Structure 1
Amino acid sequence: MQAMDIALICKALGDSNRLKIVEMLSDGEKCGCKLLEAFEITQPTLSHHMKILCDCGLVSARKEGKWTHYSISEETLAGFQDFISKLNCSKDGDCACQ
């Protein structure tokens, strides 16, 4: 995963609504209408958030009739998790978290 991809995911997750959407999708695919019920936002605002999540690759969209169903992209999430898991403190003792 490239640094730009990581940056886009971090930016997307920097919004509390989008973070909550990803949490909701962590237990499986959801229709946009179900996501909208969980927020006090308009449909265009939800569409804006979903576009950002889809554009960074973290969320996939699937059309079924007039509805769009969203799910987490397992491949992108795995790449992001791999990046995060490789982050650690300096081994020479200069880390403030030790």
Structure 2
Amino acid sequence: MEPSTVLDCRSPLAREPLRPERAAGLAKAFKALGDPVRLRIVSIVASHEGGEACVCDLTAAFDLSQPTISHHLKVLKEVGLLTSERRASWVYYRIVPDRLAELSSLLQLPSQAAR
């Protein structure tokens, strides 16, 4: 098999240096996840039945005001980790799978490299 046909199993970090713009965008997403409340919000939405959670479910899970929860949701939407849909008077949130996969793949090491 020629080298050009072999898949490069290295993580994106190990393949080539990140471009400054991409690094800045990824850093914003990781920074958003660095907040414990936002990390829990992502976890609640991802694990919620049907893969989406109503803002009322999220507000009930925290001892925080509704405006504070809304701020955290706005940050997660701005970095592309969540999307939302209004239904009547409630807003439902879903994970953006491609964005979460992008962050995950950036940090994954091939199983051989982890040994």
- TM-score band by shorter chain is 0.7 to 0.9
1:15-26, aligned counterparts within 5 Å? 15-26=35-46
**Could you state the TM-score of these two structures normalised by the residue count of structure 2?**
0.71
- Report the Cα offset of residue 14 of structure 1: 1.2
Bigger helix fraction: 2
Identity %: 37
Determine whether 1:79 maps to 2:79.
no
Q: Deviations over 1:21-47 (max 9, x none)?
A: 111111210000000000000110000
Partner residue of 1:51 out of 61, 67, 74? 74
Partner residue of 1:4 out of 24, 31, 34? 24
State the 4+ residue runs in structure 1 displaced beyond 4 angstroms.
Answer: none
SS state of the match for residue 61, structure 1?
A: strand
Comparing both chains, which one has the higher relative contact order based on Cα–Cα distances under 8 Å and sequence gaps of 6 or more? 2
Show the counterpart of 1:95: none
Equivalent residue letter for 1:66: S
Q: Kindly tell me the number of residue pairs found equivalent between the two proteins.
A: 89
**Could you state the TM-score of these two structures normalised by the residue count of structure 1?**
0.83
5+ long unaligned stretches in structure 2: 1-17
Equivalent residue letter for 2:68: T
